[in-house]
């Protein structure tokens, strides 16, 4: 007898929210998911989960999901439901027409870090081989692109060095610009367990985060002013070098010694000391000196960081500065140490691995490399363009200038998630064909001409790659409600554009990825069935994968020290905009909330609020819970105030989950010098009382 709600069978799959990559058993009754149960054999989560993965899958059945393709001539027109074939044909005709009128490079696309490896691989293949240009970028552009640049420069690989298990061997945990308790909760639990066992915690963050406030751990908190990461990293390095705490044996054996000497001479300069930089950074020099000594001498030191590092005008510089610190102290190449980016989205690592950047083919190989390009040309049977294409911000600029007119957006709400919303609106409005491929009519779809319904993670086969480079299976739990998995949609669009791609199953796409990508050479669905998951590099040298990287040597050969000079952001406070805004997330919501806001079975919802210090609130006559107007040079919004000393005087903080608040109306156009990752984390603002929206 089957009771109501009693499961009949289960399917093991992977959470589609954050970069922890928890494995779940989807317990089913017929075609209905009854509940999601954390899978005890999941190597990233070991039977644990958070509220999002466990309860926030209801969006897959939400009434606002669009299940039929739609088209319209102009964005002022109403949508018209059409068949898949008509939608593909309409989109292809428009995109080809644009190329005829404006040139081959006038169209491009954006891959999704929410989709599978196989799906992002197909989108970049469509663009490179079908569109004939390299105008492909990924939503990682706006989050972890500096990680790719910084770690590739110093270590030789655009990825974190450790597996999550590594934290069990850590003696000193340094968390920089991340709040894993909210954004990576299952990993945070493992981290806290290690802290309760006696490991020390250093938190470098403008805000007193939940990690600092946790009653069970004692953290050394460095509450720096937003935008001063590089100065703080350099001051830490100053103490390590001038106090004689460098692991010289490691540096001599593993790194370029002359580059180290140049770096050491730079950080040792008196103007880089904690005392000399204290007014700039806002960090007590004594606390900073203590943190440096603990990290350098406390045993295995591991650094975990998030978007508070990358989303700055010096995001790449900070990643490099972190890598310098790890090399100088010998904290690389064994369990318990390392440099570990906490990835935000479920497959942001994978979308980067799969060649979603305009200058790189899958496996981070430059498009200009003849030998590599020829491999792809032979298998794809096309001639590839060796010129790197446009990044997302360049696409927007070119659209406003009238030279970029068509965009295919896979699974990302660029209007809500990219900075300076008014510029994005101007760019989208100027385009002649915007194709949105998504579950819902998101904010970007207001400017689209074609809407291709997306499939949820429960409706398709594929793989995600989590923050520890772990490739895990996503398994089809129910039939796609829209009739097509996302990989099939991209194939349909490609075919309509005259570029045939033939695959019967995503496993065949993975076989092609493995054939073309040395770090994935040993990956196959058969291996994933056998081992449960595998961490890349997985190839002849490491057939069962690589939990910890750079053990015997850095991937690039010698570790590279790079001098990291602090350069202040151009975003300055002043009499009109005297406060600095920084942003973050809460546990129950996910990014712009497209899924979590549409999940009735999630435990609770919360609005975006502005955290403001009591001193700053009093000066402005703002009481707790009052509506306030938040205004920057880019735009303004209205939200409620929360008075708290979690932020220092001069700093305000909010989350960005709700479209009503639209925090990105406020953020500016400044971006990382190397990768164009937007500077979301530093915006000069004014706050004033308001009567509400």
List of residues contacting ligand SF4 (CB under 6 A):
15, 17-18, 20-22, 45, 49-50, 52-53, 184-186
Q: In terms of Cα–Cα distance, which of 56, 121, 113 is closest to 514?
A: 121
CB of 102: closest distance to ligand SF4 in angstroms?
41
Give the C-alpha separation, 58 to 187, whole Å.
Answer: 24
The answer for residues whose C-beta is within 8 angstroms of residue 164's C-beta and 6 or more apart is: 20, 44, 187, 190, 467, 468
CB of 21: closest distance to ligand SF4 in angstroms?
5
CB of 193: closest distance to ligand SF4 in angstroms?
15
Nearer to ligand SF4, 18 or 152 (CB): 18
Give SS3 for 561.
coil
CB of 146: closest distance to ligand SF4 in angstroms?
22
Nearer to ligand SF4, 52 or 527 (CB): 52
Nearer to ligand SF4, 24 or 155 (CB): 24
Q: In terms of Cα–Cα distance, which of 632, 26, 678, 564 is closest to 259?
A: 564
CB of 587: closest distance to ligand SF4 in angstroms?
9
Give the C-alpha separation, 32 to 334, whole Å.
Answer: 44
CB of 18: closest distance to ligand SF4 in angstroms?
3
Nearer to ligand SF4, 160 or 185 (CB): 185
Nearer to ligand SF4, 156 or 344 (CB): 344
Nearer to ligand SF4, 163 or 171 (CB): 163
CB of 343: closest distance to ligand SF4 in angstroms?
10
Q: Are 336 and 300 in contact (CB under 8 A)?
A: yes
CA distances from 625 to 636, 644, 652 (A): 19, 11, 15
In terms of DSSP H, where are the helices of 578-657?
614-619
Nearer to ligand SF4, 53 or 350 (CB): 53
Tell me which residue has its CB nearest to ligand SF4.
Answer: 53
For 673, counting Cβ atoms within 10 Å of its Cβ (0-12 exposed, 13-18 middle, 19+ buried), the class is middle
The answer for residues whose C-beta is within 8 angstroms of residue 642's C-beta and 6 or more apart is: 609, 610, 611, 612, 624, 625
Q: Are 300 and 331 in contact (CB under 8 A)?
A: yes
Half-sphere exposure of 310 (CA within 13 A, CB side): 26
Sheet harboring 338-341: ordered strands across?
A: 219-222, 200-204, 172-176, 301-305, 338-341
Nearer to ligand SF4, 46 or 72 (CB): 46
CA distances from 335 to 43, 231, 332, 349, 578 (A): 16, 28, 8, 21, 44
Give the C-alpha separation, 580 to 681, whole Å.
Answer: 9
The answer for residues whose C-beta is within 8 angstroms of residue 508's C-beta and 6 or more apart is: none
CB of 603: closest distance to ligand SF4 in angstroms?
12
CB of 53: closest distance to ligand SF4 in angstroms?
2
CB of 79: closest distance to ligand SF4 in angstroms?
32
Nearer to ligand SF4, 346 or 632 (CB): 346
Nearer to ligand SF4, 50 or 617 (CB): 50
Tokens 């799969």 sit at which residue?
A: 354
**Phi, psi dihedrals of residue 603, rounded to the nearest 5°:** -65, -45
């Amino acid at each position: 007898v089957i009771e109501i709600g009693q499961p009949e069978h289960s399917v093991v799959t992977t959470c589609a929210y954050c970069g922890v990559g928890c494995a779940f058993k989807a317990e089913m009754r017929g075609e209905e998911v009854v509940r999601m149960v954390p899978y005890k054999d999941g190597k990233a989560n070991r039977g644990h989960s958070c509220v999002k993965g466990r309860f926030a899958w209801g969006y897959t059945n939400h009434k606002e999901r669009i299940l039929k393709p739609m088209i319209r001539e102009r964005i002022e027109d109403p949508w018209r439901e059409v068949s898949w074939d008509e939608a593909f044909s309409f989109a292809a005709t428009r995109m080809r027409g644009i190329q005829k009128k404006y040139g081959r490079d006038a169209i491009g696309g954006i891959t999704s870090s929410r989709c599978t490896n196989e799906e992002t691989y197909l989108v970049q293949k469509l663009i490179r081989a079908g569109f004939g240009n390299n105008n492909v970028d990924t939503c990682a552009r706006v989050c972890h692109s500096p990680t790719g640049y910084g770690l590739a420069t110093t270590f030789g690989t655009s990825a974190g060095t450790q597996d999550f298990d590594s934290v069990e061997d850590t003696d000193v945990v340094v968390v920089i610009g991340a709040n894993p308790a909210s954004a990576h909760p299952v990993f945070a639990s493992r981290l806290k367990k290690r802290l309760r066992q006696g490991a020390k915690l250093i938190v470098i963050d403008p805000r007193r985060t939940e990690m600092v406030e946790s009653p069970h751990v004692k953290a050394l908190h460095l509450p720096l002013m937003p935008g001063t990461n590089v100065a703080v990293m350099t001051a830490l390095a100053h103490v390590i070098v001038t106090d004689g705490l460098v692991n010289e044996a490691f540096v001599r054996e593993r790194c370029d010694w002359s580059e180290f000497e140049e770096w050491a001479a730079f950080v040792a300069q008196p103007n880089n000391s904690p005392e000399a930089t204290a007014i700039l950074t806002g960090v007590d020099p004594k606390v900073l000196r203590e943190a440096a000594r603990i990290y350098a001498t406390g045993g295995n030191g591991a650094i975990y960081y998030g978007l508070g590092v990358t989303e700055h005008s010096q995001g790449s510089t900070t990643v490099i500065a972190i890598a310098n610190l790890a090399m100088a102290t010998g904290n690389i190449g064994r369990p318990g140490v390392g440099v570990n980016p906490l990835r935000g989205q479920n497959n942001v690592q994978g979308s980067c691995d799969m060649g979603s950047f305009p200058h790189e083919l899958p496996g981070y190989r430059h498009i200009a490399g003849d030998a590599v390009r020829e491999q792809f040309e032979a298998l794809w049977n096309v001639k590839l363009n060796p010129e790197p294409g446009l990044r997302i911000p360049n696409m927007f600029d070119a659209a406003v200038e009238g030279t970029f007119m068509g965009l295919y957006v896979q699974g990302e709400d660029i209007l809500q998630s990219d900075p300076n919303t008014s510029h994005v609106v101007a760019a989208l409005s100027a385009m002649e064909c915007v194709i949105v491929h998504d579950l819902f009519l998101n904010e970007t779809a207001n400017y689209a001409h074609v809407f291709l319904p997306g499939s949820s993670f429960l409706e398709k086969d594929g793989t995600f790659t989590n923050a520890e480079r772990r490739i895990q299976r996503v398994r089809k739990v129910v039939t796609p409600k829209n009739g097509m998995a996302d990989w099939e949609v991209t194939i349909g669009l490609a075919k309509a554009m005259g570029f045939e791609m033939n695959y019967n199953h995503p496993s065949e796409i993975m076989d092609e990825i493995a054939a073309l990508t040395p770090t994935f050479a040993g990956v196959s669905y058969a291996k994933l069935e056998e081992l449960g998951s595998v961490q890349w590099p997985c190839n002849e040298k490491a057939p069962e994968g690589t939990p910890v990287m750079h053990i015997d040597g850095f991937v690039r050969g010698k570790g590279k020290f790079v001098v990291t000079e602090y350069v202040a952001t151009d975003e300055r406070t002043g009499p009109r905009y005297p406060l600095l805004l920084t942003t973050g997330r809460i546990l129950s919501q996910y990014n712009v909330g497209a899924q979590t806001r549409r999940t009735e079975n999630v435990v609770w919802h919360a609005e975006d609020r502005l955290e403001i210090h009591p001193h700053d609130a009093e000066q402005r006559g703002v009481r707790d819970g009052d509506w306030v107007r938040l205004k920057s040079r880019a735009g303004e919004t209205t939200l409620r105030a929360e008075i708290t000393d979690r932020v220092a005087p001069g700093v305000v903080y909010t989350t960005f989950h709700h479209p009503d608040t639209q925090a990105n109306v406020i953020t500016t156009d400044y971006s990382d010098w190397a990768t164009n990752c937007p500077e979301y984390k530093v915006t000069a603002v004014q706050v004033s009382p308001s009567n509400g929206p």
